[in-house]
Structure 1
Amino acid sequence: MPYARLLTPLLLVCSNVFMTFAWYGHLKYRSVALPKVILISWGIAFFEYLLMVPANRMGSTVYSAPQLKGLQEVITLLVFAGFSTLYLGQALKWNHWAGFGLILVAAWLIFLE
């Protein structure tokens, strides 16, 4: 699949947007009952799986499993950084960026051949 190398990260970004909202979107609505939040989060996560599973299946034709996981972690952090700042209004501090940077280095090491 020649398009898998580019389509995989794109699908992972889209799936991460859904999952970030499923996991953290409710933090903006603390007055909503927890059982309701859980059900809504499961519903949002369903769409994440519709993108994540095909992304990993397709991506496995061009990336190893550890590379897929490393790519996923970097994408997760980038999506979360934007979400935290833009949606939750919680800017990231230097130590958050430093920690994310260390994870980026770890992902880079995974891609070394």
Structure 2
Amino acid sequence: MSTLTAAPIIAILLLIASNVFMTFAWYGHLAYKSAPIWAAIFVSWGIAFFEYCLQVPANRIGHGYFSAAQLKTIQEVITLVVFAVFSATFLNEPLRWNHAVGFGFIAFGAFFVFLKV
């Protein structure tokens, strides 16, 4: 596989990993509400560092194959998928039909970003 054809796969894999860190940084503290807010902030920032270490290379590698708008759209769709799994498993918050419909509309909107016009 050449570097050019590997670029989109590598970028997407890095975006997935980045979003796992991001989701834990942004929402993981909700499972530990008894922890002081300052501790939640510092731990979240520490986790977010690793998110950036993956997000920045993902965008650098993916840009050129994907436009910036496409990269952002991929990132948002990945964020929703990762968040849905996180919310259901880590926070024990069930996903309901209205969540699925809302996420579906967002994914449908993402379709238009990738149209060749």
- Do Structure 1 and Structure 2 share a fold, with TM-score over 0.5? yes
Match of 2:28 in 1: 25
Residue 68 of structure 1 pairs with residue 71 of structure 2? yes
1:95 equivalent in structure 2: 98
Q: Identity across aligned pairs (percent)?
A: 57
- How do residues 31-50 of structure 1 correspond to structure 2 at under 5 angstroms? 31-50=34-53
User: Unpaired runs of 5+ in structure 2?
Assistant: none
Deviations 1:67-86 (A, max 9, x none): 00110110000000000001
* Counterpart residue number, 2:85: 82
Work out whether residues 4 and 61 of structure 1, in 8 Å CA contact, stay in contact via their aligned partners in 2: no
Amino acid at match of 1:10: L
Distance 2:104 2:61 in 1: 27
Consecutive unaligned residues of structure 1, counting only runs of 5 or more, are none
* C-alpha distance in structure 2 between counterparts of 1:44 and 1:110, whole Å: 30
Give the CA deviation at 1:2: 2.5
Cα root mean square deviation, aligned: 0.6
Counterpart Cα distance in 1 of 2:76 and 2:103: 10
- One-letter code of the match for 1:65? A
Q: Deviations over 1:24-60 (max 9, x none)?
A: 0000000000011000000000000000000001110
